[in-house]
Every structure is written in structure tokens, then in C-alpha cells.
């Protein structure tokens, strides 16, 4: 059985999750602080990919990065970068598509932390950055894990956007979800089942990991 679609999916999901971790944690923190109308706009933009059908997102990305016009033409002519029908394009699309899956749970976790623990850290002379990494982050590690899993899984299952801008190219944009769709359409049900099973197994492994981690960090070992 051809395993490249699975590898491609895993690579895509991993890279996307890493990018979103680096990007999402600070943004989520910033959004969780005092609200303003400017933040509202940013938050709305971050939320967009959630409500936008993947087909729409794919459509706009297609228009934006099509070598026929605007940014795509420019990238193409001056840098020879192609963001449609390429793996790089899928990464960009996935980052946009999965953005709210990272940001939304983290924002909520930050907002629920008691303000007093950050204050305690400030009184100990710690800067905002130190407090952020030493106090806030460790105390929402559970949520960070959950958000990462959500992001990873969501990217693994990405379909509509890839269908639109991926072009189903083996070893480049033919990820597992598309391979399954393809197999089903070609009535190759054994391949479809095989790919589905592998994805199933991966989810299971993820869930078990999270479960064990959470058990370890359980609330009150005393009761």
C-alpha cells in the first residue's frame, strides 16, 4: 500500500502545529488581556477560518495565489514561489485554516488563570516575559496540549481546502484525506479502509497520550 499520503498528512499536520504554537500562544495571550475594538477586529479575523467553509477559504486562496493575478503573480515572477498546487501552499492554507483551533482554547485558558499568580510573579521582580514563560505557560500546559492536539488532528483531517488548492498531486499535495476520497471515488474500498484505519490508529495513540498526561497532572491526588 502506498504510504506517502499518510506521511504527507503527518508532515503537514506537524509543521502546521509547530508554526501555530509559536504564533498562537502569544497571540492568544494578547487577546486574553483587556479588550479593545482593535482586538475585536483581530479576533474576528482569527475566527473567520472557523466559520468560512473550507471551500470558500480554498477559493480565496486560489484567487490570491493564482499565478494569473495579484500576489500570486508577483511571488511567481520575482521569487518563483508557487503557493497553489504545492506543499508550501498547503502549509500556508493549513496555518490559516487551523488558526482558531489553536487560539481559541488558549485564549480561554489564559483568561481563566487567576490574575493574582501573575501579580505575585511581578512582585518577585519578574518581567512580563519571564512571568509568561515560567508561570502562565506551565499553568495552562493542559490547554496547550489540548489545543495542539485539536490543531494537529484538524489539519490531518483537512479536506475542502486541499481539494481546492492542492490539485491532488502524488507526493506533494495528495494527503491522506484526499487519498481516501480518491479511493472511494475509484471504488477502491480496501485502500480507503486502510487509510482510514491508519488515521484511526493515530488518533487513538494521540488520545491515549493526552489521557495519560492528564491523569498524571490530575487535580487532587489526595481525594
Ligand X SMILES: Nc1ncnc2c1ncn2[C@@H]1O[C@H](COP(=O)(O)OP(=O)(O)OP(=O)(O)O)[C@@H](O)[C@H]1O
CB of 176 to a second copy, least distance (A): 7
Stretch that binds another protein, among 25-33, 35-43, 78-86, 103-111 (CB under 8 A): 78-86
**146 is a contact residue toward a second copy (CB under 8 A):** yes
Q: Which is nearer to another protein, 75 or 91 (CB)?
A: 75
Nearest to 24 by CA among 143, 107, 141: 107
Nearest to 9 by CA among 141, 130, 147, 173: 173
**In this chain, which of 24, 72, 105, 166 binds a second copy, going by CB under 8 A?**
105
Rama region for 17: left / alpha / beta (φ>0; ψ in -120 to 50; rest): alpha
Nearest to 21 by CA among 117, 146, 123, 115: 146
Place of cell 502506498: 2
Q: What CA–CA distance (Å, rounded) separates 14 from 24?
A: 15
**190 is a contact residue toward another protein (CB under 8 A):** no
CB of 119 to another protein, least distance (A): 5
What DSSP designation does 136 have? I
**In this chain, which of 10, 25, 156, 165 binds a second copy, going by CB under 8 A?**
156
Look up residue 3 and give its three cell numbers: 504510504
**In this chain, which of 68, 79, 215, 221 binds a second copy, going by CB under 8 A?**
215
Stretch that binds a second copy, among 39-47, 78-86, 88-96, 125-133 (CB under 8 A): 39-47
Strands (E), the chain: none
**67 is a contact residue toward a second copy (CB under 8 A):** no
* Number of neighbouring beta carbons within 10 Å of residue 111: 13
Decide if 53 contacts 161 (C-beta within 8 A): no
Residues forming the site for another protein (CB under 8 A): 59, 62-63, 65-69, 72, 82, 84-85, 114, 116-117, 119-127, 134-135, 138-139, 141, 163, 165, 167-170, 182, 184-187, 219-223
- Binding residues for ligand X, rule: CB under 6 A, are 220-222
Amino acid at each position: 500500500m502506498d504510504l506517502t499520503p499518510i506521511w504527507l498528512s503527518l508532515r503537514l499536520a506537524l509543521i502546521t502545529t509547530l508554526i501555530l504554537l509559536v504564533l498562537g500562544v502569544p497571540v492568544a495571550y494578547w487577546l486574553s488581556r483587556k479588550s479593545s475594538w482593535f482586538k475585536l477586529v483581530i479576533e474576528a479575523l482569527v475566527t473567520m477560518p472557523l466559520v468560512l467553509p473550507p471551500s470558500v477559504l480554498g477559493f480565496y486562496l486560489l484567487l490570491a495565489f493564482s499565478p494569473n493575478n495579484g500576489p500570486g503573480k508577483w511571488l511567481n515572477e520575482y521569487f518563483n514561489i508557487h503557493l497553489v498546487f504545492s506543499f508550501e501552499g498547503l502549509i500556508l492554507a493549513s496555518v490559516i485554516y487551523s488558526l482558531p483551533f489553536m487560539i481559541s482554547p488558549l485564549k480561554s485558558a489564559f483568561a481563566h488563570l487567576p490574575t493574582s499568580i501573575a501579580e505575585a510573579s511581578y512582585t518577585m521582580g519578574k518581567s512580563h516575559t519571564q512571568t509568561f514563560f515560567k508561570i502562565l505557560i506551565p499553568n495552562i500546559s493542559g490547554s496547550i496540549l489540548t489545543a495542539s492536539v485539536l490543531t494537529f488532528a484538524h489539519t490531518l483531517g483537512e479536506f475542502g481546502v486541499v481539494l481546492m488548492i492542492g490539485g491532488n498531486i502524488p507526493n506533494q499535495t495528495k494527503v491522506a484525506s484526499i487519498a481516501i476520497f480518491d479511493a472511494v471515488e475509484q471504488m477502491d474500498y480496501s485502500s480507503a479502509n486502510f487509510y482510514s484505519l491508519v488515521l484511526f490508529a493515530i488518533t487513538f495513540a494521540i488520545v491515549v497520550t493526552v489521557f495519560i498526561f492528564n491523569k498524571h497532572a490530575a487535580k487532587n491526588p489526595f481525594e
